Structure 1
């Protein structure tokens, strides 16, 4: 065989194929599909539907943070930030962790700034997981988790979360761990289900991770968006601090998703390993935005309680419309997503309904099975996810449209 032909026919999937497969984007014939977000957004644009699929706010964040970014640009903060991030933002992250949770990471050695939480997660996974390892997540899982686990060459194992409360079964959790479980990637509050895991559940994860020598990477980007329950950082639990990387970002808290400013903290030796990978991804980014977010993290407590309270009201507006539509509504305790079951409407295929909804009632949503492996997709095939991080009048209109669904089916 010609050498060039031989090289072009790999015996194993290429890294990009593993990435696509992990995110459920690789078809059976090896072709590359589009994300469900792209498909639903295209449908929403074509039909004029209200897009409650992709989770981003339609309102800008606090004016004082935006003005701080403008001032930073005007003052010349337009070149590379240090690879670890601006000192003032690392100090602000450390102060935030102490103020809200009693944690005291050293801003010089135990905090780094990333290009959004997404880069922090990717850098941490690539730093610690590889072929022969297993990475454990709950299922459904945020799609980028599967993509980066696939890229790393590690095996993605899951523990199911089932409606109505989306809590893991303890026996299933214990059975999912093995001698190969290198990393536990935990999202709390949880996207896409809206679950907030109580300390007892989190402590069980910590104990199992300790028993198996696993590193915990915890994605806490919705930490300030909880309703009636508090957020418990994994790193605060007994046995967790020495093995936990904590990740968060400005996007969800401050409604500034386009700025892509994230951060992670943890023990110095773990953070140093992540930084080794991170510096060869983006090196650094968002210099004027970093300076502005440092000011945002110092906003008073009433800002943080206010954003959660306002979001809870929006949750309830949309949930009322979903109930009127005939869905089984699973009220979330956190994030800005609400999940519903389609079975009361006699519908078991949420993907099919998601493709019909924009035309039927002018609202777009995301089917939960796309956040699962094939077995999990079957288990969640009647679930839809709606985002409620939109203006109140938009949600009121969406609720009114959804209320007509039963009569249109």
Structure 2
């Protein structure tokens, strides 16, 4: 028979007993370990002095069976019930007869509320450092969503509060409701899946995660890291309406809006039709008043302009200017006539002076001008010789003469 698993073949296989014993030997060498989880099943058998429980991981769908003595359970000093979070000290055991693995616990300890809150506070710091709570990541809620996604418990009061109050405010709003576990073992997985499903629906414009409050232990799923990251990855605006003021779940911090109660969420996801109609009426009244005021002001301005003389009698300005033109034209005509008269008088005076001083006037008084043949004027008898022809010019013509003698 082969000594190692690698040496086995179809012709030389290991029997089941050998493989089971080897697995049991390997598991037996494993050291005891402290494990934390949530109790999802608990079965006590006082007659046999044994208790069996299933320990489930709070973040993923994985679980382990655990067996322990009833005395160990009683010695824990805390009420270990289904849904409780516990820490157990156990060693794995492999049962060769049925080929199953089981944890054998020798100590169990309940995780207290204070410790859970401390862990939530630490997780809060880690997520805040990553920026998951940053206000810049948050998006505004739509004014009037056509379809609202609602994640709530089955037949819960929270569902009633959201739906009834939202439809009372806006009757036409539609809901896509996903009823899931909002506490206990399956809460994280179911709420996360519902958020992802509604986020993938293009008709859903806002998602509300609602629960009507509860004890700190009941609200632990809403501070679970997996659920918080699923909410942070949601692209659709998310409203957290857990309805618990004392202890703020981490979902409130990552959501785009935190509502104090499911009723408060309904008031914020849809507007009130009565209020909106009142706002429209008020806005319409304001617009009408503003328009009337503007028209009245413009009409007063037009009336003021029309009352001015230039607009009341527009031809009056032209008539005034026409009179000015006539007056200036008459003045120009008179000034021109006076200038012409003065110029005529000056011309007559100058003509008289010219006539009085002209040679012709001298000749008219009986004087004559004696010129030689070459036109030179004779001023001295010595300028001519005997027998020379002269020309004598008088007022009305010329006389030809000859020199007969000279003195």
User: TM-score scaled by structure 1?
Assistant: 0.25
Q: By percentage of residues, which structure has more strand?
A: 2
User: TM-score scaled by structure 2?
Assistant: 0.25
**Larger Rg, first or second structure (1 or 2):** 2
RCO comparison, higher one (Cα < 8 Å, 6+): 1
